[in-house]
């Protein structure tokens, strides 16, 4: 079979080739599809889990956060867990949590607000006496990302630190957790200027609704498979479930080869 190629056909082939070349050049200049974006340090803290047993991705990377002395996760090669508890008020659960931590020689950081120091001073003193960090969760628990001026921002952190000093006679260790995980780049910079390390988290679950607490099985199903090297775990001290399961939970994590460490280790400091 023979095909006769005419001049007209050749011209059409040449035109098509030229058009293809232009399109190819445009694709090289302006790549199509999803491109990697640098997350802006503004908004709500969020996580994306890729696989069980692996560190999740934050909506701001660990590398980006470090420029503001901020952290959400530790070394991906080391099976260490950093335990943190947000303590907005006392709900009768903290003593049992402290008992479990003591049993396992597990240091933790309790991020408290002004109301907590006012209403549960004996528990704050116990935290300190048993070697835990009492962290700064602000005086009034506002949306700190809505605060743009340094005076108002520092008043929330300094006010809480003043209460802590009055109670304990000691200076508060400068670890700060933004209420509700709401933050902005300017917040991170202001906290750093005040000498604080901002602490987010890499593992948490819905444990804060006191009238709708998860069952033990639901808690274990979230907290055991998703544990990962360098995990910064956020639990709420108001949770009856957490108080009930913590001893067993810590034992399960230890059985997986994990140890517990202070946030001072995460921040590259030597614990006192």
Quick check: is 236 catalytic?
yes
DSSP code string of 141-196: ---GGG--SHHHHHHHHHHHHHHHHHHHSSPPP-EE--GGGEE-HHHHHHHHHTTP
| Interhelix angle 150-168/185-193, nearest 10 degrees | 50
| CB-based contact 196:69 (threshold 8 Å) | yes
Closest CA to 112 of 85, 94, 83: 85
Quick check: is 118 catalytic?
no
* Catalytic member of 137, 141, 228, 236: 236
Half-sphere exposure of 48 (CA within 13 A, CB side): 7
Distance CA 126, CA 142 (A): 26
* Catalytic member of 69, 86, 207, 228: 86
Distance CA 76, CA 92 (A): 35
What are the phi and psi torsion angles at 112 (to 5°)?
-110, 160
Give the DSSP letter of residue 73: B
Which residues does the annotation mark as catalytic?
Answer: 86, 236
């Amino acid at each position: 079979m023979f095909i006769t190629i005419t001049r007209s056909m050749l011209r059409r082939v040449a035109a098509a080739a030229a058009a293809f070349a232009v399109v190819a050049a445009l694709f090289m200049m302006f790549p199509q599809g999803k491109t990697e974006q640098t997350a802006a340090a503004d908004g709500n803290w969020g996580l994306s889990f890729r696989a069980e047993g692996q560190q999740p991705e934050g909506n701001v990377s660990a590398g980006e956060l470090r420029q503001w002395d901020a952290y959400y996760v530790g070394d991906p090669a080391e099976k260490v867990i950093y335990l943190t508890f947000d303590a907005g008020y006392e709900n009768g659960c903290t003593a049992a949590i402290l008992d479990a931590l003591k049993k396992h020689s597990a240091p933790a950081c309790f991020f408290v607000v002004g109301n907590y120091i006012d209403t549960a001073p004996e528990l704050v003193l116990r935290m300190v006496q048993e070697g835990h960090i009492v962290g700064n969760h602000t005086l009034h628990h506002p949306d700190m990302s809505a605060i743009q001026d340094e005076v108002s921002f520092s008043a929330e952190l300094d006010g809480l630190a003043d209460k802590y000093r009055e109670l304990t006679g000691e200076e508060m260790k400068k670890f700060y957790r933004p209420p509700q995980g709401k933050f902005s780049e300017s917040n991170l910079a202001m906290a750093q200027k005040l000498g604080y390390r901002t602490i987010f988290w890499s593992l948490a679950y819905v444990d804060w609704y006191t009238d709708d607490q998860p069952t033990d099985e639901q808690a274990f199903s979230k907290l055991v498979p998703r544990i990962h090297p360098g995990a910064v775990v956020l639990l709420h001290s108001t949770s009856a479930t957490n108080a009930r399961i913590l001893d067993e939970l810590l034992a399960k994590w230890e059985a997986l080869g994990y140890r517990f460490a202070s946030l001072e280790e995460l921040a590259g400091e030597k614990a006192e």
